[in-house]
């Protein structure tokens, strides 16, 4: 069987083919389904290795449709590039290293999302873009009003337009802000539509519905968590999930010395941000089901400060959600108990 390494890029990709007889063939082609079919469509079944990237999934599916075995590899696995010189990096060298790693088996396969979760991630990405756009508009509106001595009362992002109009602004200033307010109305409608579609997904997926039994976890957070993990069996324990989401501290250890810093912030920024927001809501709220978590967090606040305590609570929420996702159970906050001696890792 031939072994092929492909360094995939947006416009053009570099191919390196290692034949069974040891011959090496290299070429550069455009990254299109037609070119992949023309170059690799008539070849015998081969094993192909490529890095996980934005284009990797559709390229992998295209190559699999041509009858080849495709491995999408984790680009952070250092042994995959052991044969490549660190002093010179080119697409040709990368493709050669991938082909050699494919032949030797020196790679770590990356998880490939199911079609359903790829669709969910797409909806969440679009929603994030809409929310960021609305947040930017709100900042501009608040800044313009502050320059004229006006203050917009705090409240939900959806109600900003109503609160601005309630200020009774002068006609000239209101006319200046009118284009932004008009666009924000449209953005609010699209955010509401995205929330409705995600809520529908949550109702249809029993796993997402179960995760919402945790206090302050709504359909968006639950759907994002399920889409990020996709398969609970990928992780042996909760700490691996916490590390996967970038909620564990960096560590520099050598010999007898050990030093920990801020969290790594690796992995899925969206899920990490949503868990931190949920942690803030738990700390600020007064719902009886969150009393135990709040007490645990406040004890940590007294020792380590509010920021570290919130991040630690977000990490604990990740562990709770993983346990429910893995076991197929629902949260029972009334029975939840955290040992007073239990302390989180440094955030």
pLDDT in tens, 123-136: 999 999 999 999 99
Enter the pTM of the model: 0.82
Average predicted confidence (pLDDT) for the chain: 90
- Residue-wise pLDDT for 70-119, tens only, equals 999 998 887 887 766 667 789 999 999 999 999 999 999 999 998 889 99
Task: With CA atoms as reference, report the closest residue to 80 among 106, 58, 62.
Answer: 106
- Residue-wise pLDDT for 25-68, tens only, equals 999 999 999 999 999 999 999 999 999 999 999 999 999 999 99
3-state SS, residue 25: strand
The whole-number pLDDT of residue 83 equals: 65
3-state SS, residue 188: helix
What is the distance of C-alpha 87 from the center of its chain? 32
Contact 7, 26 (CB under 8 A): no
Which H, E and C letters describe the chain, residue by residue?
Answer: CCEEEEECCCCEEEEEEECCCCCEEEEEEECCHHHHHHHHCCCCCCEEEEECCCCHHHHHHHHHHCCCEEEEECCCCHHHHCCCCCCCCCHHHHHHHHHHHHHHCCCCECCCCCHHHHHHHHHHHHHHHHHHHHHHHHHHHHHHHHHCCCCCCCCCHHHHHHHHHCCCCCHHHHHHHHHHHHHHHHHHHHHHHHHHHHHHHHHHCHHHHHHCCCCCCCHHHHHHHHHHHCCHHHCCCHHHHHHHCCCCEEEEEECCEEEEEEECCCCCHHHHHHHHHHHHHHHHCCCHHHHHHHHHHHHHHHHHCHHHHHHHHHHHHHHHHHHHHHHCCCCCCCCCCCCCCCCCCCC
Give phi and psi for 60, each to the nearest 5: -60, -45
For CA atoms 79, 82, 83, 89, give the dihedral sign: positive
Residue 343 has pLDDT above 50, yes or no: no
The whole-number pLDDT of residue 337 equals: 43
Contact 95, 7 (CB under 8 A): yes
Overall average pLDDT of the 300-310 stretch: 92
Distances (CA, A) of 226 to 5, 138, 182, 222, 229: 31, 30, 35, 6, 5
Element (H, E) at 243: helix 238-244
- Six-digit token string for 25: 């063939």
Where is average pLDDT lowest: 258-267, 275-284, 333-342? Answer: 333-342
Distance CA 56, CA 1 (A): 22
The whole-number pLDDT of residue 333 equals: 60
- Residue-wise pLDDT for 255-270, tens only, equals 777 777 788 888 889 9
Q: What helix, strand, coil percent values describe the chain, rounded to 5?
A: 55, 10, 30
Q: Which residues contact 118 (CB under 8 A, 6 or more apart)?
A: 57
- Residue-wise pLDDT for 136-180, tens only, equals 999 999 999 999 999 999 999 999 999 999 999 999 999 999 999
DSSP annotation of 21 reads T
The whole-number pLDDT of residue 341 equals: 40
DSSP annotation of 250 reads E
The whole-number pLDDT of residue 3 equals: 96
The whole-number pLDDT of residue 86 equals: 66
Residue 334 has pLDDT above 50, yes or no: no
3-state SS, residue 36: helix
- Six-digit token string for 301: 């606040």
Element (H, E) at 71: strand 69-73
Task: With CA atoms as reference, report the closest residue to 247 among 231, 228, 220.
Answer: 228
**pLDDT cut 70: percent of the chain above it:** 94
Residue 347 has pLDDT above 50, yes or no: no
The whole-number pLDDT of residue 345 equals: 40
């Amino acid at each position: 069987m031939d072994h092929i390494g492909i360094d995939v890029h947006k416009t053009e990709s570099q191919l390196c083919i290692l034949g069974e007889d040891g011959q090496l063939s290299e070429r550069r082609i455009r990254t299109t389904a037609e070119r992949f079919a023309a170059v690799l469509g008539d070849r015998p079944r081969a094993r192909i290795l490529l890095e996980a990237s934005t284009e990797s999934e559709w390229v992998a599916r295209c190559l699999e449709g041509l009858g080849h075995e495709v491995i999408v590899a984790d680009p952070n696995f250092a042994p995959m590039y052991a044969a490549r010189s660190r002093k010179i990096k080119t697409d040709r060298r990368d493709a050669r290293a991938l082909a050699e790693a494919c032949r030797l088996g020196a790679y770590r396969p990356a998880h490939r999302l199911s079609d359903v979760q790829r669709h969910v991630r797409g909806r969440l990405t679009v929603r994030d873009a809409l929310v960021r756009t609305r947040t930017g508009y709100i900042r501009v509106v608040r800044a313009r009003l502050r320059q004229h001595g006006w203050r917009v009362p705090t409240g939900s992002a959806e109600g900003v337009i109503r609160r601005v109009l309630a200020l009774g602004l002068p006609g000239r200033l209101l006319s200046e802000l009118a284009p932004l307010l008009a666009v924000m109305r449209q953005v609010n409608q699209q955010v509401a539509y995205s929330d409705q579609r995600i809520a529908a997904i949550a109702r249809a997926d029993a796993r997402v519905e179960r995760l919402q039994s945790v206090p302050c976890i709504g359909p968006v957070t639950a759907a994002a968590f399920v889409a990020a993990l996709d398969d609970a069996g990928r992780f042996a324990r909760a700490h691996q999930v916490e590390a996967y989401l970038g909620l564990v501290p960096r560590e520099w250890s050598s010999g007898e010395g050990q030093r920990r810093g801020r969290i790594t912030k690796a992995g899925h920024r969206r899920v990490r941000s949503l868990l931190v927001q949920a942690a803030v809501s738990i700390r600020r709220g007064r719902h009886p089901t969150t009393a135990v978590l709040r007490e645990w967090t406040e004890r940590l606040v007294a020792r380590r400060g509010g920021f570290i305590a919130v991040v630690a609570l977000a990490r604990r929420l990740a562990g709770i959600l993983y346990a429910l996702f893995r076991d197929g159970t629902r949260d029972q906050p009334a029975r939840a108990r955290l040992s007073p001696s239990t302390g989180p890792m440094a955030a």
